Amino acid sequence: MIGVFDSGYGGLTVLKEMIHRLPEYDYCYLGDNARTPYGSRSFDTVYRYTRQCVRYLFGQGCRLVVIACNTASAKALRNIQQHDLPSIDPKRRVLGVIRPSVEAIGEHTRTGHVGILGTIGTVQSESYLMEIAKFHPHLRVFQEACPMWVPLVECGEHRQGGADYFVRQHIDRLLRQSAEIDTIVLACTHYPLLSEKIRRFTPAHIRIVEQGRIVTESLYNYLQRHPEIEQTLGKSGKRIFQTSDAPELFDRFAAIFFDWHVRSEKVVFQ
Ligand code: DGL
């Protein structure tokens, strides 16, 4: 199976695109809803939680795991790839969402001024700044942390009027940093759930980039380049959903924005 991991529901915005584009593969989704949000947690905690979840997905039979979470990609991916994988199983692979998003940014901006909206963890890690400096050194990058956005989504408040205040506040703060920003990256997989409001409070000429399709395209390319991994993946269209919190909550909430009915199982970490 292809494992897809997020701190909560956000990774479903990525999995949805994967299932549309690459429906033949078997997927196992894990949402660590009991410990979400990760965005305000320390480096060590995010690393520990993410490593546990990745190991769990390996144990479920995932040869490849996509960390569909920017915070976990920023704070844990490199350590897992460099320090943990060699001892767990060097034949397994873990991919993140930051690199593919950064590679795609260059296609979108004309002014060269790009805004990044993310969690506190993603913004403070400066992962986007560092990666963009490598791939597109001519771009100017402006960041804004939106600590209330993930809790709004996880609590099902993202469509309510009360969310408007927090959405507008962070977009205004980001745009005050540069009048030339023409591209905003939603650098958190939860944020597409707020996209209606984000669009409403963002001037029409600014492009808003979501990660689902970008990460899916990057996965597709990865599988083309790595037949040794691709050939080991199940292709019976199986979908398994797991959550560290209550499955009935997960199923009810996932149905609101995921295109298919979900029946999840509870994960108990050893
Ligand atoms: N979806 C996660 C991300 O992309 C949210 C992190 C959190 O739990 O705060 O960053």
Instruction: Report how far ligand 1's centroid is from the alpha carbon of 105 (Å).
Output: 20
Torsion sign across C-alpha atoms 6, 190, 193, 206: negative
Give the position, in ligand 1's atom list, of the atom nearest the Cα of 190. 1
- Topology annotation, domain 2-97+213-266: Rossmann fold (3.40.50)
| pTM check: above 0.85 | yes
Structure tokens at 246: 């209550």
pLDDT digits 0-9 by tens, 215-230: 999 999 999 999 999 9
| Dihedral of alpha carbons 213, 154, 152, 42, sign | negative
Report which ligand 1 atom has the smallest distance to the Cα of 10.
1
State the Rg of the chain over Cα. Answer: 18
User: Relative to the CA of 37, which ligand 1 atom is closest?
Assistant: 8
pLDDT digits (tens, 9 = 90+) for 158-215: 889 999 999 999 999 999 999 999 999 999 999 999 999 999 999 999 999 999 999 9
- 2-97+213-266 and 99-210, same CATH topology: yes
Give residue 170's pLDDT: 98
Cα 224 to ligand 1 centre (Å) = 28
Nearest to 119 by CA among 147, 96, 97: 147
CATH code for the part of the protein at 99-210: 3.40.50.1860
Residue-wise pLDDT tens digits, 203-257: 999 999 999 999 999 999 999 999 999 999 999 999 999 999 999 999 998 987 7
- What is the domain partition of the chain in residue ranges? 2-97+213-266, 99-210
pLDDT for 83: 96
**Distance from Cα 32 to the centre of ligand 1, integer Å:** 11
Mind telling me the catalytic residues? Answer: 69, 188
Q: Residues lining ligand 1, CB < 6 A?
A: 6-8, 10, 36-39, 69-71, 119, 122, 150, 188-190
- Determine the Cα–Cα distance for residues 232 and 176; give it in Å rounded to an integer: 49
